[in-house]
Structure 1
Amino acid sequence: MITTGRILLGLALLACWEWGHRVAGNLFVASPMEVVQRLREIVEDGSLWGHAASTLWITALGFAIGFFFGVLLPFLLDQSERATKAIEPAVLASMGIPKFALAPLLILWFGIGDAPKVVIIAFMTFYMIFISTFSGLRGVDHKLIVMAKIVGADPMNLARDVLWRSLQPYMFAGLKVALPRALSAAIVGEFLVADKGLGYMIEHARQMGDTTGVFTGIVVVTALVLGLNWLLERLQAKVMAWRPKDASVAH
Structure 2
Amino acid sequence: MKVIGIVTSGGDAPGMNAAIRAITRMSNRLGMEVFGIYHGYAGLINDEIVRLDTRKVGDVLHRGGTFLKTARCPEFQTEAGQAKAIANLKRYDMEGLAVIGGDGSFRGALALQKWGIKVVGVPGTIDNDIPCTDYTIGFDTAVNTIVESVNKIRDTATSHERTFVVEVMGRNCGDLALCSGLAGGAEVILIPEVEPNYEEVCRRVQKSHDQDKSHAVVIVAEGVGGDPSSGRDVYSSSAFRVANYIKEKTNIDTRVTILGHI
TM tier, shorter chain? under 0.3
TM-score w.r.t. the length of structure 2 is: 0.24
For CA contacts below 8 A with separation 6 or more, give which structure has more relative contact order.
1
TM-score w.r.t. the length of structure 1 is: 0.25
Q: Which has the higher helix share?
A: 1
Q: Which has the higher strand share?
A: 2
